[in-house]
Amino acid sequence: MLLDGFETVNARAIVIATGSSPRPLGVPGEVEHRGHGISYCATCDAKYYEGRDVVVIGGGNSAVEESLFTARFARQVTVVHQFAQLQANREAQARALENPRIRFLFEHGPRAFILHGDQDMEVTVENLRERTRTAIRAHGVFIFVGFVPNVPPFGGDLKRDAGGYIVTDEMMRTGVAGVYAVGDVRSKPFRQITTATADGTIAAIAISRAL
């Protein structure tokens, strides 16, 4: 398999376990301030915003669940969501809507992130109905708008689903002989550490039997 356009690796079996990465917004300031005011993991970083104000981008399960977690530390969490209602499960929605520390800006989208100093972030948001822009000042931003699979190095020989994830059978075999895919890079309904570990176990057993 040609990995990066320069190096070719020959093996009797190959396991792709490259995972997935947070989907970027493509908004000015996102890349520049990543790790310096912008985060993709509330579980990792929410504790640094004790008593501070935070903006969360997104409205799905991850965004709402992480907003609830962040609200345990932050003074206020402002959720910016492009649609008129949340896409998270009903229980999470109900808990978030009832939480006094969480407020919502529906039908709004982020347009720029500007860092004015250590933990002083300005988020420019656009009202998608009125096409007007306003600025929100916060100490940090968490972005939860989904993930993308890390598959570019492997070319177009592997079958993908609509989201770009690699399609496998129940033995983790792809459509290319001798190539397996496991973990978050694989097309499946749930992506957790436990399911990734199970994928790896299945692939290892399948490969040992095949060889």
Beta strands 14-16 and 147-149: pairing type?
A: unpaired
Widest distance between CA atoms in the chain: 62
Superfamily of domain 38-143: FAD/NAD(P)-binding domain (3.50.50.60)
Contact predicate 202/171, CB 8 Å: yes
The helix or strand, by DSSP H or E, that contains position 62, with its residue range, turns out to be: helix 61-70
Burial of 71 (0-12, 13-18, 19+ CB in 10 A): buried
Q: What is the pLDDT of residue 90?
A: 94
Sign of CA dihedral 64, 66, 69, 73: negative
CATH code: domain 14-21+147-210 is 3.50.50.60
Q: What is the pLDDT of residue 192?
A: 86
What residue type is assigned to position 55 of the chain? V
Region(s) of the chain under CATH 3.50.50.60: 14-21+147-210, 38-143
Which residues in the chain come in under a pLDDT of 70? 1-6, 155
Q: What is the pLDDT of residue 3?
A: 56
